Structure 1
């Protein structure tokens, strides 16, 4: 399993590194607002490496806390003139306290999620569809499922005049792994609305819904956001911050409050 994890991480790094080098060879010509719009589009042909920091407090009966940094490289591939393949990776690193019991602490990798969107070039409505995979990369049994999973993913959205609205969703079922662990059967969707400005600033809001069919639990958070695209030296970067407002969820998993801060490194190309 350890060898598999290293191979997986090496594969992800290779994709991002080679893709970034390829786009850096082009002349960057996109404005800050155009980049903000592309970052709002999950299937845009744009290499980016967002680092999503999530902090949640007041979780469960022991009033636990959980910090997660999601490393989320996005690498597009042009299949032909009318079709792109957008690969999206989520590699979580977790530090949690008092979640599994009083005075307990776990730190390490959680399971990775890999999504491959086939995105046809369309006018008006933007579409994406493809498989989603759950990869058991967790370094602690309390941080992962010890299961391989697979299922469908989809995106439907519209963009125009700085406005982006749509949803992204996936449903993953476990298909292999440790038989002593519970099966994984989970639906996730994010419904989003954002508006960008010529300066590269953006305002938005999204709702995240996670339905665990095995445990019969639903978790919903509402997340208003503010962001900005700028340059740090020669590197194009987007910064964003948002509160994580829990709306629905059982007390065992619903936090009292949360905060998210995102730093996204962008390689715009031409």
Structure 2
């Protein structure tokens, strides 16, 4: 029954996966076009690249908690850079989750709506070799259902450190957010998140990678870790540059009440390289 409920998300995942496999297998090794596609793939692997993009990240998780719940989340994640000077950019990243979950808060329960938004601003100096960014991260209580959000406003620091060469990206990003205002009847928010990532791009615009996501909830004293191998490709749909990526979400560590049995992710990112 739960598979039927989320069949659209599953079809999206597998259709995207088959497209990517076909794209990687049939990509032409045209040197000029390939170099351009690889350059875009490398920029998209850099969270503080001066590049406007609008990723739509689809996440599907099953087997959550005592009621074997399921959750589908689409994260709308625009990235908008601002040039502050010849040597400094401000990269703003927004995450607005839309959630559809069943049997999470109880048996035969269902919630649908917005969850809390996260806004991050990285000050990114132009450097050679090691790339880094730092700035504030904000939690904004945009949830439309009390079960989908914290009802808290939060703030804290964020940081990115990475090394990037042609075709290879390696690094991590992290943030720590504490609640500073909001509904006094709700628990405080105190959470640390980090993502460690490695990816390799090819002249065709295809890429292979893996990342580990770690979330530490200090208030609940819980740790959630997942390992996520990925395959991606940069291509064009008409005149629009698009990146596709798919990956299984493999849970490694986490308490039963929040750790899924398994998950899938499919990302479609609209890219504006001329910006």
* Superposition TM-score, scaled by structure 1 size: 0.89
Name 1:260's counterpart in structure 2: 265
**C-alpha distance in 2 between matches for 1:90 and 1:35:** 22
- Aligned with 2:141 (options 136, 143, 154): 136
- Aligned with 2:194 (options 189, 192, 195): 189
Query: Would you say the 8 A contact 2:42–2:166 is kept in 1?
Result: no
The CA RMSD measured in Å over matched residues stands at: 1.3
Name 2:229's counterpart in structure 1: 224
Name 2:154's counterpart in structure 1: 149
The alpha carbon displacement at 1:195 in A equals 0.2
**C-alpha distance in 1 between matches for 2:249 and 2:91:** 27
Name 2:14's counterpart in structure 1: none
Aligned length: 243
5+ residue gaps, structure 2, are 1-34
The alpha carbon displacement at 1:172 in A equals 0.1
Provide Cα deviations, 1:101-157, integer angstroms capped at 9, x if missing partner: 000000000000000000000010000000000000000000000000000000000
The alpha carbon displacement at 1:194 in A equals 0.1
Q: Does 1:98 align with 2:103?
A: yes
- Aligned with 2:121 (options 116, 123, 139): 116
**C-alpha distance in 1 between matches for 2:52 and 2:159:** 20
SS in 1 for 2:94: strand
SS in 1 for 2:203: coil
- Aligned with 2:53 (options 48, 53, 56): 48
Query: Would you say the 8 A contact 2:55–2:76 is kept in 1?
Result: yes
* Superposition TM-score, scaled by structure 2 size: 0.87
Name 2:77's counterpart in structure 1: 72
5+ residue gaps, structure 1, are 1-29
**C-alpha distance in 1 between matches for 2:184 and 2:225:** 29
Q: Does 1:214 align with 2:226?
A: no
